[in-house]
Amino acid sequence: MFKLDYKHIRYLLLVIAILLVLFLIYKYFHPTPTILNVKDFGAKGDGISDDTRSIQTALDAGTKKKLSIYFPAGTYIVNANDTLMIKSNTRMVGDGLNSVIKADKSKFAWSLFYISGSNIQINQIQFDGNNTVNRVVVIQPGSSKVQISNSLVSNASQSDDKSSDFYSSIVAGILIYGNTYSIAIDQTEIQNVVSLHQLDGSLIARGIYITTTPGASEKSSTNLSIQNTTIHDIGPADDGDGIYYEDPLLNKNIIQNTNSTIKNNTFYNCAKRAIKLYANGIEVTGNHILNNYLNNNYYQGKDKGKLAPDMYAGISVYGNNIKVANNVLEGRGSFYSGIEITSSQTVRNIEVSANTITMGTQSKKIGTTSIRVGNIEDFSISSNILENGERGIWNWQNATRGTITENIIHMPDGGGIDLTTYLPNFIQNNIRCSNNNITAKTFAIRTPEGNSSIYLNS
């Protein structure tokens, strides 16, 4: 029987040591790659060649090996009818605006790019729909932990072929479907998302559209973050919104809080609204909304040629448990409502605080309101600075258990706080209005006659 003595053990240890050193030397001069170059898979990036298959092959390899896919500067033409998809555990990185993935102009499609899975990062890539897709980037149902940062998403539109499915579909820069969570969009730009043809009487475009798959039993996206992002040139005035956060389950009175934030973003040339919320549990803070229109924003659908408001609203709230704070709304034009809170269903637990809303001095102010409040319960409107317009604050439908306090309202051509309604059987109960600083031409505070449940101390 073979028996190891001390000499054999020393020899064996020496051999193992030599093999280890050789392995380390090999790994030093032949390190395992951490990044895959898309050009090594045949992509040209010359703005002419069809790079669809090469890109998908590279992305699949990155998913399998859990490696980053690098897109050197160049323009990568893709056929958007071939579903280009990034899957779990993959990172795309480019050279910023110099790394462009662009739709082939000759072939209209639903989307330029799909994201499906978890632990996905996209950084410094330009996605150009080339006005040949309805949606530029789509985050598929069930995806999670997806981050898009330092990127540009642009040029979504509709086909001019009336027989095409792409003729009147909703247009979006980024579309986020349901059952998704921990989606982050940071330091990204979304631009030139324009609807051309009517859908159910309206032309619908969204810079970022958060919704659910039609007909599916999905919940709206949760733990979503959109921050430090610029969204602009979204239209037309019929129904062009910078961000639309939608939870269709609200129609069935199924309540969930999304625990989401829309923070420190910039909006301009968003033809109808900057932000519309039809979902619960969202904080909208620190955003800058510029109203660049001035008597030049026209409808393009059934009212084509008719002048629309400069902007219908900066922020519209149709959900519960919403905080709207420290936002600045300003510009040349007026808002029909700077901040609009519902006009139909009752919403609850709404805070509107420390916002600055300024209507343009040369704009038409008739019919405009800085903060326009519909059916609401349990709310506070405080410490806002409101300037110009026909009214500062107007509670025009049913309102219960609310405070309107410490607002600075300067309306040289209009009124301050209006708690009256022209609608029959609509009332305000248990409203406390106090410590507001109001300078107004027509009235400071207007209340319904005989309503003893409104408490004034202003």
Q: Residue 316: name the closest of 282, 292, 286, 293 by CA.
A: 282
Q: Dihedrals φ, ψ of 188, to 5°?
A: -125, 155
Q: What is the pLDDT of residue 9?
A: 64
| Dihedral sign for Cα atoms in the order 92, 97, 98, 101 | positive
Q: What is the pLDDT of residue 31?
A: 44
Question: Given phi > 0 = left and psi -120 to 50 = alpha, else beta, which region is 133?
Answer: beta
Yes or no: say if 217 and 182 are a contact pair by the CB < 8 Å rule: no
36-457, what's its fold? Answer: Pectate Lyase C-like (2.160.20)
Q: Residue 31 has what DSSP assignment?
A: P
Burial class (CB in 10 A: 0-12, 13-18, 19+), 302: exposed
Residue count of the chain:
458
Q: What is the pLDDT of residue 151?
A: 98
Amino acid at 27: K
Q: How far apart are CA 218 and CA 142, in angstroms?
A: 9
Q: What is the pLDDT of residue 32?
A: 47
Q: Is 20 in a helix, a strand, or coil?
A: helix
What are the angstrom distances between the C-alpha of 90 and each of 16, 115, 125, 149? 36, 10, 14, 14
pLDDT tens, the chain, 458 aa long? 445 566 656 666 666 667 666 655 644 554 444 799 999 999 999 999 999 999 999 999 999 998 999 999 999 999 999 989 999 999 999 999 999 999 999 889 999 999 999 999 999 999 999 999 999 999 999 999 999 999 999 999 999 999 999 999 999 999 999 999 999 999 999 999 999 998 877 899 999 999 999 988 899 999 999 999 999 999 999 999 999 999 998 888 777 899 999 999 999 999 999 999 999 999 999 999 999 999 999 999 989 999 999 999 999 999 999 999 999 999 999 999 999 998 788 999 999 999 999 999 999 999 999 999 999 999 999 999 999 999 999 999 999 999 999 999 999 999 999 999 888 888 888 999 999 999 999 999 999 876 767 888 75
Burial class (CB in 10 A: 0-12, 13-18, 19+), 126: buried
Q: Is 257 in a helix, a strand, or coil?
A: strand
Q: What is the pLDDT of residue 384?
A: 98
Q: What is the pLDDT of residue 457?
A: 72
Amino acid at 365: K
Q: Dihedrals φ, ψ of 375, to 5°?
A: -70, 120
Question: Given phi > 0 = left and psi -120 to 50 = alpha, else beta, which region is 318?
Answer: alpha
Q: What is the pLDDT of residue 30?
A: 45
Q: What is the pLDDT of residue 223?
A: 98
Q: Report which secondary-structure segment, H or E, holds 370.
A: strand 369-373
Q: Report which secondary-structure segment, H or E, holds 9.
A: helix 6-29
Q: How far apart are CA 384 and CA 435, in angstroms?
A: 12
Q: How far apart are CA 403 and CA 372, in angstroms?
A: 14
The CA R_g of the chain, rounded to the nearest whole Å, is 27
DSSP string, 178-229: SS-EEEEEES-EEEEEE--S-BTTB-EEEEEEE---TTS-PPPPBS-EEES-
Q: How far apart are CA 43 and CA 54, in angstroms?
A: 5
